């Protein structure tokens, strides 16, 4: 997962002649692949799962990241939603100086959901009671982004959006 990828590994990947590369690695190794391919003048369409951290990938890949698609499991942090404003304010108050990214927003939404489950729990210090509270949470609006938890619904959201990295090193949804 945190392995460094060099020219040799990217050359081995290219020899496979893939139609597409699906990155299931973190932002650093994914950026290494992009940089090596661009340096060789090669283009292989790439897509990444959300845990890559879109902004972290964009910063690591630089201009080599253009054209890479990244799945997002929360709304774009640039949208005008109450949860986006609330989370950005909380980050600022916590002393975070960088702009809020999708990883920040996802963590903030998760914290809001956990806090609500704790608020509803009969015994906040009992892990089983907290789990029962999560399992019965039902629909919960975090501020323009809703999640739903139930006995057979543990993922919270089915939201997935595909963004693409632009030449200007922005994520366009």
- pTM for the structure as a whole: 0.83
Using CA atoms, how far apart are residues 17 and 44, in angstroms rounded to an integer? 9
What's the pLDDT score for residue 125?
81
Q: Tally Cβ neighbours within 10 Å of residue 77.
A: 23
What's the pLDDT score for residue 5?
78
Check residue 45 and give left, alpha or beta (phi > 0: left; psi -120 to 50: alpha).
beta
pLDDT digits (tens, 9 = 90+) for 43-78: 899 999 988 889 999 999 999 999 999 999 999 888
- Of 107, 99, 114, 108, give the one whose Cα is nearest residue 170: 99
Report whether 76 contacts 170 (CB < 8 A): no
Among the residue ranges 1-5, 135-139, 143-147, the one predicted with the least confidence is: 1-5
pLDDT digits (tens, 9 = 90+) for 14-50: 999 999 999 888 899 999 999 999 999 998 999 999 8
Q: Which residues contact 93 (CB under 8 A, 6 or more apart)?
A: none
Band of pLDDT at residue 96, cut at 50, 70 and 90: very high
Residue range(s) of every CATH 3.40.50.2300 domain in the chain: 7-73+160-172
Report whether 26 contacts 2 (CB < 8 A): yes
Band of pLDDT at residue 1, cut at 50, 70 and 90: low
- 2 pLDDT above the threshold of 70: no
Please give the average per-residue pLDDT across 72-94, as a whole number. Answer: 94
CATH class of the region 7-73+160-172: alpha beta
Q: Helix or strand or coil: residue 148?
A: strand
What's the pLDDT score for residue 90?
95
């Amino acid at each position: 997962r945190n392995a460094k990828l060099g020219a040799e590994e990217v050359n081995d990947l290219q020899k496979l002649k893939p139609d597409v590369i699906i990155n299931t690695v973190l932002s650093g190794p994914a950026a290494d692949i992009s940089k090596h391919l661009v340096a060789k003048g090669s283009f292989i369409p790439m897509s990444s799962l959300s845990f890559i951290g879109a902004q972290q990938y964009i910063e690591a890949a630089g201009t080599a990241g253009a054209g890479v698609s990244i799945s997002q499991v929360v709304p774009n942090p640039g949208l005008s939603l109450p949860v986006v404003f609330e989370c950005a304010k909380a980050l600022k108050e916590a002393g975070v100086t960088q702009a809020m990214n999708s990883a920040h927003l996802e963590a903030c939404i998760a914290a809001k959901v956990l806090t609500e489950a704790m608020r509803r729990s009969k015994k906040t210090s009992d892990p089983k009671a907290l789990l029962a509270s999560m399992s019965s949470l039902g629909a919960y609006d975090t501020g323009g982004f809703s999640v739903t938890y139930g006995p057979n619904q543990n993922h919270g959201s089915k939201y997935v959006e595909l963004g693409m990295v632009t030449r200007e090193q922005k994520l366009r949804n």
